[in-house]
Amino acid sequence: MSDLLSRREFVRSSAAGMASSVVMGIPHPMRPPRPLPPESRWAAKPVVIASANGLRGVQKAFDLLLQGADTLDAVIEGVKIQELDPSDDSVGYGGLPNRDGVVQLDASCMHGPTKRAGAVGCLENIKTPSEVAKLVLKYTNHIFLVGEGAKKFALSYGFKEEDLLTEHSREEWLKWRANLNPDDDYLDVPEKETMVVRPTGTINCDAVTPGGDISSVTTTSGLAWKIPGRVGDSAIIGAGQYCDNDVGAAGSTGRGESNIKVCGGFLTVEGMRRGVAPTDACLATLKRVVSATESRLLGARGRPKFNLTYYAVNKRGEFGAASLYPGQYAVHDGAEAKIRDTAHLFEQT
């Protein structure tokens, strides 16, 4: 605790001196870093929550919050770790491609203090769609750019066009294609050889600052082997994530189509608006998902054949997460970054 306090004192005494170095590390910051208010005047407990693949991200974002960085800048710098990590095949560089072997990325973000939002869908050849979504939010009068237009927009701000397929993601796509039809011209992958099932993968990250400001971001490479042009929930404001600076923020990972139908990010925040605790708000949204699920996606016991997880934090810094089936999430609760188990509705399908 003494180290944390000394860090805060350092930030307050030297904010002006360190501001330029922090800004230099954050492309297109929402604002320069600010000194933290005296601890006695903190409006909220600073917290960063994310999906389970965001353990490094919540630590990065929390560190930036304690350096006075803007809340949206902090969460985007956090998720960029996964976007740039080729070993995470659900996000950014190395993400599993669509049916044609092309990686198409989606992302959206919301900035509580300014009540603004930005999103991109079907973005190709740009590694960090979360950053592009922030540029849409910051520099345009629009909210959502897609496809070739989104890429041209990113290139105009200095992003480099790059091949997002890694050797791993290319090999998994080739295996999937080979096993599509036993009568096609490709040789099937032998049964004994491990083959990636059709995964959904994403990273959501939400944060509240000591001053009580909130932001959220969700970024993904989407459903593996998807129909080209498919956009999931991650790019949809109110579904993949939602933020209200007076209430809190929430986001999701899992089957995007099921989340879109209930506007899950928005619905979870609305639950917190009514005073429901974050975990309970996530569980209530999951119950809505179950009730809205068509029969073909339900198992013999009437339970969904897919998984879906919600993450939430309110303005006071209370947080929680819940999933249809047992899962985990990452959080920095003000003391340390850790992995926790989600609440869940069902033990098994």
Q: Is residue 65 part of a domain?
A: yes
Mean pLDDT (the chain) is: 90
Q: Is residue 244 part of a domain?
A: yes
Task: Say what angle helices 71-83 and 129-139 make with each other, to 10 degrees.
Answer: 150
Q: Is residue 292 part of a domain?
A: yes
Helix, strand, coil percentages (3-state) for the chain, rounded to 5, are: 35, 20, 45
Place of tokens 């990636």: 196
Give every CB contact of residue 141 below 8 A, 6+ residues apart in sequence: none
CATH number at residue 89: 3.60.20.30
Instruction: Please give the tally of structural domains in the chain.
Output: 1
Question: What is the b/e burial string over 47-84, where b = at least 16 CB atoms within 10 angstroms of the residue's CB?
Answer: bbbbbbbbbebbbbbbbbbbbbbbbbbbbbbbbbbbbe
Q: Of 49-63, 74-88, 180-194, 216-230, give the lowest mean pLDDT range.
A: 180-194
Amino acid at 84: L
| Sign of the Cα pseudo-torsion (312, 318, 322, 326, in order) | positive
**Distant-in-sequence contacts of 4-8, Cβ < 8 A, 24+ apart:** 4/66, 7/66, 8/36, 8/39, 8/66
Give pLDDT tens digits for 243-281: 999 999 999 999 999 999 999 999 999 999 999 999 999
Q: Is residue 176 part of a domain?
A: no
Range of the domain at 285: 2-165+199-344
Q: Is residue 177 part of a domain?
A: no
Check pLDDT > 90 for residue 12: no
For residue 179, the model assigns a pLDDT of 79
For residue 345, the model assigns a pLDDT of 97
How confident is the model over 160-185, as a mean pLDDT?
Answer: 86
For residue 309, the model assigns a pLDDT of 98
Give pLDDT tens digits for 17-73: 444 444 548 999 999 999 998 998 999 999 999 999 999 999 999 999 999 999 999
DSSP string, 99-138: TTS---EEEEEEETTTTEEEEEEEE-S-S-HHHHHHHHHH
Task: Give the whole-number percent of the chain exceeding pLDDT 90.
Answer: 84
Q: Is residue 175 part of a domain?
A: no
Please give the backbone phi and psi of residue 134, each rounded to the nearest 5 degrees, phi first: -65, -35
Helix/strand/coil for 220: strand
Annotated active-site residue in 128, 200, 202, 218 = 202
- What is the rounded distance in angstroms from the CA atom of residue 215 to the CA atom of residue 14? 25
Q: Is residue 193 part of a domain?
A: no
Check pLDDT > 50 for residue 11: no
- What is the rounded distance in angstroms from the CA atom of residue 122 to the CA atom of residue 102? 10
Check pLDDT > 70 for residue 186: no
Q: Quick check: is 202 catalytic? A: yes
How confident is the model over 143-165, as a mean pLDDT?
Answer: 98
Q: pLDDT category, 3, cuts 50, 70, 90?
A: very low
Check pLDDT > 50 for residue 141: yes
pTM of the model: 0.89
Helix/strand/coil for 93: coil
For residue 40, the model assigns a pLDDT of 87
Check pLDDT > 60 for residue 93: yes
Q: Is residue 87 part of a domain?
A: yes
For residue 150, the model assigns a pLDDT of 98
